[in-house]
Each structure stands twice: as structure tokens, then as C-alpha cells.
Structure 1
Amino acid sequence: MTAEGLEALKVPAELVEHELAAKSPLRRTAELGVSLAAVVAIFAFAIPAISETHYSEIWSQFSQLDGRTIAGLTILWFLVMWTYTGVLVAALPGLHRSQALVLNFGGSAVSNVVPFGGAAGVGATYAMGMSWGFPPSAITRSILVTGVWNVFTKLGLPVAALLLLVLDGQTTGGLVVPTLVGLAALAVGIAGFALVLRSDELASRVGAIVDRAGSLVTRLVRRPQRDLRAAVVDFRHQSIGLLRACWKRLTVWMLVYTLGQYLLLLACVRACGGSTNELGWIEVLAAFTFANLLTTIAITPSGVGFVEAGTVAALIAFGGPPAGSAAAVFLFRAFTYLLEIPLGAVGWALWAMKATWRRPVLSEQARRSSPTVAPACPPGGDPERLPRPE
């Protein structure tokens, strides 16, 4: 490994240190304490109470898994992770699939170990992306666009799952109201997004509405208010060219990735004794969409604890076996949360060792003198050549 590579290995530690140093010692200690207390309380008390089982019963479900099943689930999980590279490549034209895989694992690993660590994960994305020659503007654009698509997916899938449950007659009318509310929220979000992309004037109007709503929240939490109207207009300027060129690929890959995650949970449920008589594919889909929403809880890294408890409760409520449901969720999270941490460390090491990946970022003067070109959305990455990012 080169001296440059060894120096690069310090980046993840520095990102976490910066994230923690940005807060007062009292606040940092309080956040860590609350996060740890929440995880301990959920796993020690909430999950056993929800499932009405002991961890020994859950472990017995794991002991019944054979090597072929574990191997099959591992292959499925890796294929699912690979599909997300399609999202990243579409959002950051010029990025290779191998780089996207390392970027995904590296950023996730940092976010998965730091409470309220989303900023650290974003910092990891900037560190890797800029080392490959992408300017900050392109990385910012990719983060914003993938963030919007993630939000729409997280909002849209629960609505679809609830509609399927209602149409299938497996639930009471109590879910009709939240389904309609979710559908309305999704429709408003998509309509607002379409208006933002239509023109600067409409983007400014939508931004003004967002700014007024944001001011109410910031007054409640006593945080400074940023100019959200300008932020919305700026988002349009940064992303309009990319979205016009790549929105179809971005949408398809996001749906494929999310469907793959759902299939992984369904496979874990079947592997841990959840027969089709107990849990059908619609019930598992509904539980999965609920778990997807819970990952946004920032109290613990990636919502750990809350995701497990909520998903176990949902599966049992839909008729799943208590011990089997808990085992399935733990197995699913072992792939989608725990395994990402050591693989993220491997990703950082690969990034540090592969010096040929690193490119100098274009200077500000060079970017200004270069002609502005709309981002390309190539049909596939070239593993031998890194195109000029912008």
C-alpha cells in the first residue's frame, strides 16, 4: 500500500471525529447515551415482549439454517447491493460500477456506526468522489437527486402495500384513512417536485411554501432557519440537466434495488419458518415498507433497534410465527446492517490501495473555462476508462 493510501485510511476516522466534534461534549454525550439506552432497551425488553419469545427460541431458528440456505441468501444480498450501483452511476455519470459499490459500502459503514451520523456518511461520499476527480457540485447533485428518489420510494411503497392489503381483504377499514393520507402526501410531493423542475418561477413559489413550513419547525426546535426558497431554486439549477437525461434509469434502478431488498426479507422469512399459510407476499411487503420508513429514525445508527422491533411487530400482527418472525428480521438486518460495516472497512482499504482510481479535482478556473455540457447518462460504465466527470 502506498503512503498516499495509508493516509487515505485516516479519512473515515477523521469524518467520524469531525461529526462528533461539531457538537458540544454535553450534547455528544447525551446523544450517545440516548442511542445506547434505546438500543439496549429495545433488544433487552421490547423485542422479547413484542414476540413473547426468549432469545434461545430465536437462536434455535438460526440453528436450523443450513449452509446452502445461508449461501443463497448471501448471493441474493450481494446482488441487491450491486443493483444500487445502478442508482449511483445514473446520479453521478462517469462513476464505475466497482467505484459505486465501494462508495455504497463505505458511506453506509460510516453511517451505521455513528448515532445521528448521516452527515458523516455524506462526508464519506465527498471524500471518495472528489478523490476520483468529481467536483463537489457533481457530488452534491448526486446526493440530492438520490435523496429525493429515496424519499419518493419510502413514501410510495407503504401506500402501495396498504392498497394491496385493503384490496386483498386481509385488513380492516382502519387502514383506509392512512392509505388515503399517504397517497395524498405522495401526490403532493410529486406535483411539487414537477413544478420545481418546470421553471425558476414555480420553483421559487414552491420554495416559499417550503420555507414557511420550515420556519415553523425551526422555531419549535430553536434552530436557525436557512433560506429554503433559494435552496429549492438552487436544487433545480443543479439537477435539471441530470434528471432530464437520467430520470428513467434512476427510477428503474431504484425500484429494482428496493424490490431486491423486499425479496431478501421474504427469503429470510421463508428460511426461518414463515410459510405461505402464515405470511403471504403482500404481508411481508407491508412489513418491509414499514421497516424502510423506520430506517430514517436518527436516534440510533440507521434506526437500529427501531427497525427490528417494528418489523417483528408487523410480521407477527400479520400472522407470522413469533420466534420465526424475529429470527427472520434479525437475519435480514444481519445482511443489510451488520455485514455492511466490515465490508465498508474493506471498501475503504480498497479505495486507499487503488491509487489509479484517484484523480485531481478540476480547479475552479478550469471548470469556469470549460464549456457547460448537460450530464450524460451512458447506457453502461466503461471499466477501463474514467470519463471526464463534467
Structure 2
Amino acid sequence: MTAIRLPRRVPLRRVPLRTVLCLLPLALVAVAAVRHRDVLAEGFGHLATARPPWLLAAAGSTCLTWVAAAVTRQGAVVERLPARRLLATQFAAGAANHLLPSGLGASAVNLRFMTVCGLPLARSSAALALYLLAESVGRVGLLAALLIAFPGALRLGPLLPAGAVGPLLLVIGAAAVGAAVALLCVQRLRTAVVSFLRTALGEARSVHSRPTRALALWGGALAFPALQATVLVAVGRALGLGVPPWHMAVAYLAATVAVALIPTPGGVGSVEAALIVALVAAGGPPAVATAVVLAFRLLTVWLPLLPGAVTLGALVRLKVI
């Protein structure tokens, strides 16, 4: 009998992990675009009716937000980071921030970038915490200054309803008590937290001992939310929203702070819903306010998302992150 030869198995080639990481952002962008296609179509429709000079100003301010983020990141570390790669990383981090939940994307990208640049993980984490602290203080401080200068710019009732204050305080108190109990009961956690705080305080002292770094940190932390508010003001002007510019800036800052405290349910997203409520509370017509917010989010989130994802994949490919 003649033996039957079976065909030889062709070994399957494994796809390198780095290739998967390069293509993953593009796949996530495609999924997000399909899920929000109605919002994208409506946003493009509103942009088509906008006045070009104001729209150009909004686009320029959007680009400057990445520069402000890069300046703030540089101010959070003593070592000089490569400027071009730092700026490209901020552009890519913006895309990652919208593709991953809870703002984890930008933090992960920047943490990886700093470690690749040679900073130890502990110091990179401390620099990341310092950046987040400065950005939060800058946003809240700018909002407080504008509210003092323009006390009638916004009614905060729609953003923080009276019934939400009690649950909010209860949640904050419960979280604080839970964190305190965990620190007291878990020795390993307490040791890790104390070590991190010691590193973070040392990093903050080193940064503030250099005036150029301190100026970059706090100047960028103030410029970033100011530029974001400028984008909203320019889009509002482009679409004819009848709200004074300073009131629109207050509405933006108040909405973003409120979203950080209480996620707004329903609608096309918590940020969009809070911005619409804030602009209406500032005196804008609901229909025009909705158009402004959709165009604003399209300009600041959706249009940079695809090139940001491509940049993120390229940085992974080039081993910058």
C-alpha cells in the first residue's frame, strides 16, 4: 500500500505586540466614530455654517493647548525633556485620553514617555501627580478669579442642584474615611504611600528651586484651561451665540469642574451635557448652545482624534513611548 502523505502544516506567524499596539488606537477610533456618527454628522453641519475667521481662531487655540500641556509637563520635572518628542507625545496623549476611560490614556502615555527618557518610575509618577495637581489648581483658580470679576456670569444652580450637594459630600466623606482606614490597617499600602509622598515632595521642591521650571509648571497650568475656554468662545462667536465672551469662559470652566465632581448622566456625554447646561445658564438659547457645544467637541476631540491616534502608533513604533 502506498502511504498517504498529509500536507505539512504551515506555521502561523505571530503578530508582534508592538504592531498590535500601533494598530489598536486606529481600531478604537473607528469604533468610537461609528458609535457617535450622528453626533459627528451634526457637528460637521454646524461647522459648515460657522464664520471662518472665528473658526480659524478656534483651531489655532486648539493647537496651542498641546503646547501649553507640553510646557506644563516640562515644568513638572527638573531634567530637560526632548522638546519635539514631548510635544508629539502631548498630541498623542490627547487621543489616548479620549479612547480610554477616566482620563487614564494621557497619564499612561506620559508616564511611559518619561520612563523612556530615563526618569525612574517613582519620579515619573511624582511628576505626573504634580502636573495633575497644578492643572486642577490652575483650572479652579482661574474659575474663581473670573467669578470674582464677573459675579453675574453664571447661575451655578443648574450645574450643582441643591439635591446633589448632600450626596456629593457624603460620597467625598465616605471616600476619605475609607482611604484613612485602608492606610491605617494595611502596612504595605501605608509604606508605599509614605514613600510616594516623600518622593513627590522632593520632586516638587526641586522643581520650585528653579524659577524657569516653576514658571513653566504654573504658567502652563493656567494657560491650558484658558486656551480651552478660548476655543469655546471662538466657536460661540463663529455660530452667533449671544453670550458675552467672559461669561462663556466661566461657563466652560464651571462645567468642567462640575463634571469632575458629579458626572452628568444621559445625552451625548457628561462634558457635552454640562457645557450645554452651563451655556444656557449663562443666557444662551438652548438650540444655539447645543450647536456650539457639538461644534466645539468636534473641533477639540473628534478632528484631532485620527491624526492623534496615528501619532500614537508612530511613537510606539519608534519606541518613543
Equivalent position of 1:264 in the other structure: 231
Equivalent position of 2:283 in the other structure: 319
Aligned counterpart in structure 1 of residue 92 of structure 2, from 106, 112, 133 = 106
Distance between the aligned counterparts of 1:344 and 1:112, measured in 2? Answer: 10
Equivalent position of 2:247 in the other structure: 283
2:139 equivalent to 1:123: no
Deviation for aligned residue 1:95? 1.3
With over 3 angstroms needed to count, the CA separation of the structure-2 counterparts of 1:213 and 1:157, relative to structure 1, is farther
The percent identity for this pair of structures is: 19
Distance between the aligned counterparts of 1:72 and 1:155, measured in 2? Answer: 25
2:144 equivalent to 1:159: yes
1:12–1:110 contact (8 Å) kept in structure 2: no
Distance between the aligned counterparts of 2:280 and 2:306, measured in 1? Answer: 31
1:266–1:284 contact (8 Å) kept in structure 2: yes
Larger deviation, residues 109-118 vs 264-273: 109-118
Task: Write the mapping of 1:50-69 to structure 2, written as runs, cut at 5 A.
Answer: 61-65=46-50, 69=54
Paired residues, what number?
A: 274
2:221 equivalent to 1:254: yes
Equivalent position of 1:75 in the other structure: 60
With over 3 angstroms needed to count, the CA separation of the structure-2 counterparts of 1:352 and 1:81, relative to structure 1, is same
1:342 aligned partner, one-letter code: L
2:150 aligned partner, one-letter code: L
Distance between the aligned counterparts of 2:76 and 2:272, measured in 1? Answer: 30
Distance between the aligned counterparts of 1:8 and 1:297, measured in 2? Answer: 37
Deviation for aligned residue 1:285? 1.7
Superposed CA deviations along residues 237-281 of structure 1, whole A, max 9, x for unmatched, are 33321232222221112222222111111101101111xxx3112
Superposed CA deviations along residues 141-174 of structure 1, whole A, max 9, x for unmatched, are 32011011012123222322322232xx566898
Equivalent position of 1:241 in the other structure: 206
Superposed CA deviations along residues 4-31 of structure 1, whole A, max 9, x for unmatched, are xx7545447789xxxxxxxxxxxxxxxx
With over 3 angstroms needed to count, the CA separation of the structure-2 counterparts of 1:255 and 1:172, relative to structure 1, is closer
2:312 equivalent to 1:345: no
Equivalent position of 2:293 in the other structure: 329
Q: Secondary structure at the match of 1:116?
A: helix
The normalised TM-score by structure 2 is: 0.69
Distance between the aligned counterparts of 2:197 and 2:303, measured in 1? Answer: 36
1:156 aligned partner, one-letter code: G
Superposed CA deviations along residues 17-54 of structure 1, whole A, max 9, x for unmatched, are xxxxxxxxxxxxxxxxxxx9xx99xx99xx9xxxxxxx
Distance between the aligned counterparts of 1:61 and 1:334, measured in 2? Answer: 10
**Unmatched 5+ residue regions in structure 1?**
1-5, 16-35, 48-54, 179-211, 359-390
2:137 aligned partner, one-letter code: F
Deviation for aligned residue 1:289? 0.7
Deviation for aligned residue 1:102? 2.0
Aligned counterpart in structure 1 of residue 121 of structure 2, from 136, 140, 143 = 136
1:162–1:286 contact (8 Å) kept in structure 2: yes
The normalised TM-score by structure 1 is: 0.58
Deviation for aligned residue 1:135? 3.0
1:127 aligned partner, one-letter code: R
Deviation for aligned residue 1:75? 2.5
1:134 aligned partner, one-letter code: L
